[in-house]
Amino acid sequence: MLYEKPKKEALAIHERAVTKYNTALQQMEKLGSQLYEKRCHCVSLIQEVAFLVNSIANSPKEFDNKISKIQTAQETFKETETYAEEALEAAIKSGASVAAGVAGGAAVVSMAPTAAMWVATTFGTASTGTAISTLTGAAATKAALAWLGGGALSAGGAGIAGGQALLALAGPIGWGITGITTAASVFALGHKNKKIADEAISEAKKITMAGAELNETSAKIQNLTEETVMLMKGLHNTVESCKSLHGANYLKLSDDERYRLGTLVNNTLSLAELLNKTI
């Protein structure tokens, strides 16, 4: 049959591309979830530091300024979580299904709030930053879909928007390339087979490019996770060395103790700032 072999080969290429893409997508989801989990641990650690530093009497004004910045970073992280959860809820209530890049339409009803949170904290939320809880009706739905349908692309990123990444997690892709099921002339069959082969190769190229973006993004997430873990471990050790200073009077501390406290505050600020870094 005309073009039967090229069609089979093209469909095989297409299938391999889809398999690789879905594997890359699952890997990105795993890494993103791990990063979010580490960041949640960071929040707890940062709160412990703030409690310790605030217990120190007569501490330098510099400490107050940095603790204020640390608290602001924590609030920003929590606001991003809230925005993502509210966006997902608003989209689910609207029964929305939004195109997610090359993956086509994806329903949001199956998405878990935790998935929305790790995606939002990894890729960012809508550029307006308007809390969906302050909106009602169509405005809330529009804000949710604005993020889900487009999201905020971060400069130099891999080209994956937060909302689109969330939708992509709704399930693996599977482009519909169908075979011949109706009787037709040899010429018509040959023409149809060639069309199917061409479409399969064309889409396989798009899928391969999308998979490459996912792999690049996964590498960036991994690097950010490693940087976060490194800072978190160092901060945890510093916290342990400063626990004995809880409730102390800064004016009566030794130079070494003051140095340790200063290091504690500086490292905490660095970790807090990293908390809101996006891909």
> Residue 196's CB: how many other CB atoms inside 10 A?
21
CA angle 8, 17, 153 (to 5 degrees): 145
Whether 66 shows a pLDDT value over 80: the answer reads: yes
Q: Are 141 and 96 in contact (CB under 8 A)?
A: yes
Q: Are strands 105-107 and 97-99 parallel, antiparallel or unpaired?
A: antiparallel
In this structure, which long-range contacts are made by residues 246-255, counting pairs with CB atoms below 8 Å and at least 24 apart in sequence? 246/52, 246/55, 246/56, 247/55, 247/56, 247/57, 248/55, 248/56, 248/57, 249/56, 249/57, 249/58, 250/56, 250/57, 250/58, 250/59, 250/60, 251/57, 251/58
Single out the residue of 87, 91, 161 nearest to residue 130, CA to CA.
Answer: 87
For residues 131 and 105, give the distance between their C-alpha atoms in angstroms, rounded to a whole number: 26
Single out the residue of 35, 47, 73 nearest to residue 235, CA to CA.
Answer: 47
Query: What is the H or E stretch that residue 169 is in?
Result: none
Q: What are phi and psi of 231, to 5 degrees?
A: -65, -40
For residues 162 and 156, give the distance between their C-alpha atoms in angstroms, rounded to a whole number: 14
10 Å CB burial of residue 264 (0-12, 13-18, 19+) is buried
Which has more pLDDT, 22 or 57?
Answer: 57
164-217 confidence digits (pLDDT tens): 555 555 444 544 444 333 344 444 555 688 888 888 888 888 878 878 888 888
120-134 confidence digits (pLDDT tens): 888 876 544 445 444
- Distance of alpha carbon 26 from its chain centroid, rounded? 13
Residue linked to tokens 């409730």: 247
10 Å CB burial of residue 124 (0-12, 13-18, 19+) is buried
- Structure token digits, residue 20: 């690789």
Q: Are 162 and 120 in contact (CB under 8 A)?
A: yes
Q: Are 224 and 35 in contact (CB under 8 A)?
A: yes
pLDDT tier, 139 (very low <50, low <70, confident <90, very high otherwise): low
The pTM for the full model equals 0.77
Whether 30 shows a pLDDT value over 70: the answer reads: yes
Q: Residue range 212-234: average pLDDT?
A: 93
Average per-residue pLDDT in the chain? 77
Q: Residue range 135-147: average pLDDT?
A: 53
pLDDT at 193: 81
Which has more pLDDT, 114 or 110?
Answer: 114
